[in-house]
Chain A
């Protein structure tokens, strides 16, 4: 089963996302912000990254931009899971290299359906 890096500074959100993904059989590792995520992504290869946008230390859009600059993450699906619904932020995410965008409130089924789509 695919490995997924779940990134969110909110502990409750991170646990919900991880629980959902593990229940669906995915291998999940958690990161609490963009800096933590970048370190974990370099230490191990993930098949997909699911990240929040607004986080301390390094936000989700910068994280995606930094990951896309790494050869091993150039073509890996990266999803943004956020309360930010503004078009401007979405475009910024897309320009950084985000594959998709999901708006909170968190919906487990929506996340799993989107993952099936992007992971093929």
Chain B
């Protein structure tokens, strides 16, 4: 059985969900006690990136899917205890989330993110890589 489905009818719900996930991730990071990490809280933050990745890949938003995938991997290391969350790492994660909002807003407005946004996001991800591997 083959059914043709216009996936664009779900874009609105997906963008709304992305912003909700990013807000929840931001709030989770801001309230995270770095002295006594609550793994359930880190898992919730991870789940936000996981949801954005799954939806972005399904809708063919490949750049967003790649960013979410990288972020998900880093958060996965944090929830598994393979990487620790320091104040500088939290700051970069918050910046990544802010930058991600611009990427999603661009998708919502049916436009490609400009080079500055992409470079900024790439730089933040690279900085996060460097900090988490240090």
Contact = CB atoms under 8 A, between A and B. Distances in A.
Using C-beta atoms within 8 Å of the partner chain, give the interface range for chain A.
20 to 34
DSSP class of A's interface residues: helix, strand, loop or mixed? helix
A55 B17 CA distance: 14
Interface residues of B, number: 20
B102 interface: no
Contacts of A113: 1
B113 interface: no
A105 interface: yes
Interface string A3-25: 00000011111011001100110
A83 B53 contact: yes
Given A54-B47, A106-B58, A20 B1 contact: no
Contacts of A104: 54, 57-58
Contacts of B50: 54, 83
B115 interface: no
A12 B44 contact: no
Contacts of A23: 3, 5
B57 A83 contact: yes
Given A10-B51, A12-B17, A54-B47, A105 B5 contact: no
Contact of A12 (B2, B5, B14, B53): B14
8 contacts: A16-B58, A19-B9, A19-B10, A54-B47, A83-B50, A104-B58, A106-B54, A109-B1
Given A16-B58, A23-B5, 19 more contacts: A9-B51, A12-B13, A12-B55, A13-B51, A13-B54, A13-B55, A16-B7, A19-B10, A24-B1, A56-B44, A56-B47, A83-B50, A83-B53, A106-B58, A108-B3, A112-B1, A112-B2, A112-B3, A113-B1
